[in-house]
Amino acid sequence: MRKTLKHLAVGSLLIFGTTACADLEVLNQNDPDAARSLATGGDVVSLVGGSYNSWFYGNYSYFSAGLALSNAVFQHNAPWANAGMEKYGRIPRIAFINSVADGEYNYMTRAWFYSYRAIAAVADGLKSLQREEISSAITADEAASVKAFGKFVQGMSHATIAVLYAEGFAVDETTDLLEPQDPLTYAEMMDAAMAYFDESISLSQGASWTLPLEWMRAPLTGPQLARVAHSMKARYRAAVARTPAERAAVNWQAVIQDIDAGITSTFIADYDDYNGWSQDIWGYTTYPYWSQLAYFIYGMADQSGNFQLWNSTPLAEKSYNIGGKDILIVTPDKRFPQGSTVDAQRLAPGTHFRTNRATGAETGYTWARPDRGVWRWSWYKHNRGEEYWNDMAMDLPEIRIEEMNLLKAEGLFRTGNQAGAAALVNPTRTAAGLSATDGSDTNTSCVPKLPDGSCGGFFEMLKWEKRMETVATGPLGVGWYFDARGWGDLWKDTFLNLPIPCTEAQVLQLLPCKTYGGPGGEMGAALSTYKWNGEG
């Protein structure tokens, strides 16, 4: 049945009124009052310039799905019910509850509504820019930067819908909201996103203008924006895959080409919580009183047998101490604390991770709510980036160069260039004190050491480096989830994506509202690559 896309904009606006921290009027250009509402060139510039902040809020705020996904994929773990962390990190997994009556519904659907808020703002702005009284009131550079930036935001927003939701709608300034439209699949949504990115690149790469800092917290020149867009294309093209088969079928040559045309150093943005730019996924993931590192992934650094002991223990008995033995990660990987005792590790924190700082420090903090699973409890915290919580205003990486290098390594691996892939894996691996790889499955350091006790082969070494170097970055601040989905590493029955939010589906008459994941549910992850003890 064909539906009218007009309902999408109207339905989203109704939801915005109940979820937004600050209202942003999204105009229907068929309404004669629209022209009066965007009366000046400055109005248009402000509307499009503020669109990225809407997208950012839907992806990186505390109120997004990022913290729940981070727990689901073991990037960090917390026993708290806040933001869906406990619920959607629960073992066994549960299905997504697609109902506004559920306490976590707004968190899990925020990226949908704020992506469409950004899309609508850009569409209204670009359409208004076609009016002579608007275009003549701003400079040529302002007009050009608004167009290029608008296309970039359209790419980011459609790509977000594509990676997180099963379906969506492609909407821009050319869309006739009175014409009936069908939902697009996530693959079709990603095709639309790629096209918007390409438009932005075409408009940016030779430009002489510079974006205002407040637009995306980085004063990018046109050519710099084009490079960022290439890198985002690579990131999202790979992230859209739902299964290992889909990940293998990604156009890896295109990914490699975009990486080569993309950023040449880590892209840094000046995030400032006090001015509407709070990167809460980073903040809460690394905040020591909320965050601990369950052993499912991080334990694979261990060489002492502690991780294998922990894994072989029944789920209800897994904890930071088993039978009087502290479950410490003893590893040559210098990103982790060094030593074989708690006291030794406290004196020798790793570059990325550390142990608790004082005896009993966890009691009442993250060693809490045993009824929610003591398997969440561990000795370990994030060490890199935790200072953000103290200031809530600092430069943070939006795209690490290591992410691009290791994504390219995966592309080279999948296209048969083992040596080229190894050359990109080795810099972070050897810097961490681990053995170099020649692209074969030889792993002298035996990091990662898999749950079955075997040393991970080359692809596992590549995955390890990608995880260790990209904590709290990537789509929704949890690139781990999208990588694990495509690698087949999600815990069994974790949802592979989310459905169209039920409040939207009701307006669109796309009923019944769908749900995914949970035991026996549609779009739930198969048994993981790692086959952890207790997974099923």
DSSP string computed for 93-123: -------TTSTTHHHHHHHHHHHHHHHHHHH
Q: Give me the helices (H) in 221-323, please.
A: 222-239, 244-248, 252-260, 280-286, 295-298, 306-312
| Tens digits of residue pLDDT in 89-109 | 999 999 999 999 999 999 999
Shared-domain flag, residues 191 and 336: no
324: domain range? Answer: 288-384
Shared-domain flag, residues 276 and 300: no
Please indicate, yes or no, if residue 112 is contained in any of the structural domains.
yes
- Residue of 192, 95, 207, 105 whose CA lies nearest to 149: 207
Strand 393-399 with 267-272, pairing: antiparallel
Of 239, 269, 285, the position where a domain reaches its end is 285
220 CB-contact burial (10 Å; exposed 0-12 / middle 13-18 / buried 19+): buried
| Tens digits of residue pLDDT in 266-280 | 999 999 888 889 999
Shared-domain flag, residues 273 and 294: no
Shared-domain flag, residues 378 and 334: yes
Please indicate, yes or no, if residue 456 is contained in any of the structural domains.
yes
User: From CA 485, how far away is CA 488, in angstroms rounded?
Assistant: 5
pLDDT score of 37: 61
Count the helices and strands in the chain (H runs, E runs): 24, 10
215 CB-contact burial (10 Å; exposed 0-12 / middle 13-18 / buried 19+): buried
pLDDT score of 393: 65
Of 285, 310, 341, the position where a domain reaches its end is 285
Phi, psi (degrees; rounded to nearest 5) at 355: -95, 175
Shared-domain flag, residues 411 and 431: yes
Of 384, 416, 445, the position where a domain reaches its end is 384
485 CB-contact burial (10 Å; exposed 0-12 / middle 13-18 / buried 19+): buried
* Element spanning 195, H or E: helix 186-204
User: From CA 276, how far away is CA 278, in angstroms rounded?
Assistant: 6
User: From CA 8, how far away is CA 171, in angstroms rounded?
Assistant: 10
Q: Are 462 and 443 in contact (CB under 8 A)?
A: no
pLDDT score of 238: 98
Shared-domain flag, residues 105 and 166: yes
Shared-domain flag, residues 141 and 247: yes
Please indicate, yes or no, if residue 530 is contained in any of the structural domains.
no
Please indicate, yes or no, if residue 521 is contained in any of the structural domains.
no
Shared-domain flag, residues 146 and 266: yes
Shared-domain flag, residues 52 and 104: yes
Low-confidence ranges of the chain (pLDDT < 50): 1-7, 9-36
Please indicate, yes or no, if residue 523 is contained in any of the structural domains.
no
Please indicate, yes or no, if residue 358 is contained in any of the structural domains.
yes
Rounded (to 5) percent helix, strand, coil in the chain? 50, 10, 45
Total domains in the fold of the chain:
3
Q: Are 280 and 337 in contact (CB under 8 A)?
A: no
Shared-domain flag, residues 359 and 416: no
Please indicate, yes or no, if residue 525 is contained in any of the structural domains.
no
For residue 271, the cross-strand partners are 394
CATH number at residue 142: 1.25.40
pLDDT score of 363: 81
Please indicate, yes or no, if residue 29 is contained in any of the structural domains.
yes
Question: Whats the size of the chain, residue-wise?
Answer: 536
HSE-up of residue 355 (Cα within 13 Å, Cβ side): 23
User: From CA 212, how far away is CA 209, in angstroms rounded?
Assistant: 9
Shared-domain flag, residues 229 and 140: yes
Shared-domain flag, residues 183 and 56: yes
360 torsion bin: left (phi>0), alpha (psi -120 to 50), beta (else):
left
Q: Are 350 and 471 in contact (CB under 8 A)?
A: no
